[in-house]
A and B are shown apart, each in its own frame.
Chain A
């Protein structure tokens, strides 16, 4: 009797460990690797996107988000890069977040250009903020202030890079300028501004909306080509004469490891584009305050070069401001 139990158990275990079967893609569940921890912007985006993606890929297929945080997003990205290119592992990538380390002179374990790009989901613009109570109404007012302290998250992030580039473009470098970095998230950074640890900051729009609506912070300008629907009265940087800041944004795109089978990749790309047009997905995304701005796989990949050349221009501004 016991012997039977043991044998059955061994068989059960072996059955569970068995690999995938042959047949049309997709046959089994697909994982989307999220190179950040749960609860953040990338995490939310994937979790909203995943079920609609699964619906487009077939009856029995699940799309499972998998968090792999670490090394500022590089660990998860490296794992996507090294994964088996069978199409069952893809991931969500951060531009320019993944471009910055190379520009800042650090070694990375992935090659963005070689990856198999599926498409861009979101593109978030940035907004320049000051405290409502400060009386600063425009960039000119900001330029007139003597002591400017920008609050920001840590060195190596896209937010700090955006702030440094903006500070240079707005001609603030000659002032008594401080970069108070090290806050642990964009929310902390915004609370810090409300509290008065600093007097200005730049943040992704979706995080900032609440603080503007509650009357704590005032937006001065937004990046991007058009005004943002959340702040219809706030001009774009290019309207105010700073066209160099238009391209500041953070993009969330889906990509797989290099060397994927072209049939598999095109299946994923087609499913992706269908999701981007699905009104239910768009409704869910709007509910979650996502900034859906779809691009197909090739165009999404082209953004790598755009990002690279943009940030390279400013590489002298991007050194660590607090390296004593």
Chain B
């Protein structure tokens, strides 16, 4: 995948990781007994590594050649919109699954996705969502005798 992250975002990521490292290290000091030994050991290494990464990224950002700030800004913006959409669809699916389980969640999700995001016709969307669900049903429930999650609305 092409590296579209520019240097400032790399620095931001590094700082975020450093904060996380400090957080887990501090939490590790609260573990009683021997549970904390190894996490603390690794925690210090983690902090050290992320700190080094921050310094490196900082150096790159501050150096004079780092002027490639926001080229192709509209393309980047479209990409970020697409990314949020992608995340949204996954979260949507998760909520559906949690509430209604697999057998209802899957066709609803596929139908919505095909209809709204891929802009396919009603007929195509219904067919594909039902087909996928039937495949899952036959494979997991009938053939393998699994009990798939039923969703909390239906008493799981």
Task: List residues of A whose CB falls within 8 A of some B CB.
Answer: 2, 6, 9-10, 12-13, 16-17, 64, 320, 322-324
Which of A6, A16, A323 interacts with B141 by CB under 8 Å? A16
Contact B126 A6 (CB under 8 A): yes
Contact A2 B127 (CB under 8 A): yes
Which chain B residues (118-142) contact chain A, with CB distance < 8 Å? 123, 126-127, 130, 133-134, 137, 141-142
Contact A323 B32 (CB under 8 A): yes
Q: Which 6 A-B pairs have the closest CB atoms?
A: A323-B33, A324-B34, A9-B130, A9-B134, A322-B34, A6-B130
Contact A323 B34 (CB under 8 A): yes
Query: What distance in Å separates the Cβ of A275 from its nearest Cβ neighbour in chain B?
Result: 23
**CA of A9 to CA of B127, assembled, Å:** 10
**CA of A208 to CA of B126, assembled, Å:** 59
Task: List residues of B whose CB falls within 8 A of some A CB.
Answer: 32-34, 37, 103, 123, 126-127, 130, 133-134, 137, 141-142, 145
- Count: A-B pairs, CB below 8 Å: 27
Query: What distance in Å separates the Cβ of A130 from its nearest Cβ neighbour in chain B?
Result: 27
Contact A10 B130 (CB under 8 A): yes
Contact B127 A13 (CB under 8 A): no
Q: Which residues of B contact A6 (CB under 8 A)?
A: 126-127, 130
**CA of A136 to CA of B62, assembled, Å:** 71
Query: What distance in Å separates the Cβ of B102 from its nearest Cβ neighbour in chain A?
Result: 11
Query: What distance in Å separates the Cβ of B111 from its nearest Cβ neighbour in chain A?
Result: 12
Query: What distance in Å separates the Cβ of A46 from its nearest Cβ neighbour in chain B?
Result: 16
With contacts A13-B103, A13-B133 known, what are 13 further pairs, Cβ within 8 A? A2-B123, A9-B130, A9-B134, A12-B134, A16-B141, A16-B142, A17-B103, A64-B145, A322-B34, A323-B33, A323-B34, A324-B33, A324-B37
Instruction: Enumerate 25 A-B pairs (CB-CB under 8 Å) in ascending A order.
Output: A6-B126, A6-B127, A6-B130, A9-B130, A9-B134, A10-B130, A12-B134, A13-B103, A13-B133, A13-B134, A13-B137, A16-B137, A16-B141, A16-B142, A17-B103, A64-B145, A320-B33, A322-B33, A322-B34, A323-B32, A323-B33, A323-B34, A324-B33, A324-B34, A324-B37
